[in-house]
């Protein structure tokens, strides 16, 4: 970890399959516009229920990435 400054953003990923997949989706989306993603941290795990079954997992994470120069 160099002498950098990091920015931390908050994202909610959704998935119909698992908690891990919801997190991966959020990180994949972040990677489209941000370079240097470094770490994440789970903030909240929720979901919505349709007809008595889990329809989507909704996992909110913080993602840290290094700011350039």
Euclidean distance between CA atoms 43 and 59, whole angstroms? 8
Paired with 59 in beta bridges are: 13, 45
Q: How far is the CB of 59 from its own copies (least distance, A)?
A: 9
The token pair that represents 14 in the structure block: 């959704």
* Interacting residues toward its own copies by CB under 8 A: 1-16, 18-20, 23-31, 37-42, 44-49, 52-54, 56-58, 60, 62-64, 67
Q: How far is the CB of 20 from its own copies (least distance, A)?
A: 6
Asked whether 58 and 43 are in contact (CB, 8 A), the reply is no
Q: How far is the CB of 31 from its own copies (least distance, A)?
A: 3
């Amino acid at each position: 970890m160099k002498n950098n400054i990091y920015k931390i953003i908050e994202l909610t990923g959704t998935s119909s399959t698992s908690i891990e997949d919801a997190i991966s989706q959020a990180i994949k989306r972040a990677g489209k516009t941000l370079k240097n993603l470094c770490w994440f941290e789970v903030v909240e795990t929720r979901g919505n229920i349709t007809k008595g079954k889990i329809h989507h997992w909704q996992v909110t994470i913080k993602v840290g990435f290094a700011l350039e120069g």
